[in-house]
Structure 1
Amino acid sequence: FEPGRYEGLPNEVYHAANGISSTMVKDARVSLMYFNARHVEKTIIKERSPVLDIGNLVHALALQPEQLDEEFSIEPVIPEGAFTTTATIRAFIDEHNASLTAMLSADDIKALLEEYNATLPAQVQLGGSVEETGQSYMSLPEEFQRLEADKKQTAAAMKACIKENNTTLPAQVKLS
């Protein structure tokens, strides 16, 4: 390279070009063995440092401003009102929750469930005696009264019909 300004020249190409940089001169002044190991033999690896990063940034700003976004991560501008801390998120959630309608109390929910359960058809009771079971059996819809009238009707057979009927009914919502 001839001395001068080279626009559009990538930083890596600039530093890889044949020539002596100010860093090389400084290293040679320290020790020619160090200069040889670092720049000729390349046994000493160049480590990243904040100073090197700033140098690369200044180079990019001066010579390659269009590639600044590609080579460097620039801290984004945080828009006004953005959530930046847990406190701002919590404040938003609290404000939103305050705008919601109040939730039902446990007693209100229980009352609504009792109202719903009252609209459902009641289960037919099995009965404690043969007579009670017979009365329950006679209250069943006809499609569940399957026992033949001329044969002996046992309590077990009537209870089976009652249970079959009860399984077709919608279940009540449990309250406890």
Structure 2
Amino acid sequence: MGKVTCRQVGCRTRRFSYVGSWWTGIKMIQLDPSTGKQLSSNTTRYSLASRPTGTKAVEAPYIVKRGGSYHLFAFYDVCCNGTSSTCKVKVGRATSVTGPYHDKSGVALLNNGGTAVLESHGSVIGLGGQSIMNDSDGDLIVYHYYDGNDNGTPKLGVNLLNWSSGWPVAY
């Protein structure tokens, strides 16, 4: 479960909790800052992303605010199978933290959308579980992957993010 903090999304008084439920998509609720429970005056369960067809797998949400947009990072497909893992990191963008989120092509994340940020390449296989952090060099995306050159040993990956297009690009 992730908690959207003011530092992450630029809010002042609103707090949210979000969770990726694998088969039923990513959901979010607003929290009461004094109790940490769902805000009684807003019991809406926001749906942020889902995969109605295909593997249906989407989880590990992470939201950041960049410029005037909120960016929802999530990992898609199957993890935890070593070098047979197919997971990858995708992103969608919205003008409100509660969505709706769309990918670069305009496809809703509620309808299988998502722009690829990190996918398997070479010996780096099954990337996911991502977090975004700021470092002196810029924004970093931190994730796990399986090393195809080391018998599928799980490892930690770190890449810089370039936002020059308004969309995150890992390099």
TM exceeds 0.5?
A: no
Larger radius of gyration: 1
Structure (1/2) with the larger strand percentage? 2
TM-score (norm 2): 0.19
TM-score (norm 1): 0.19
Structure (1/2) with the larger helix percentage? 1
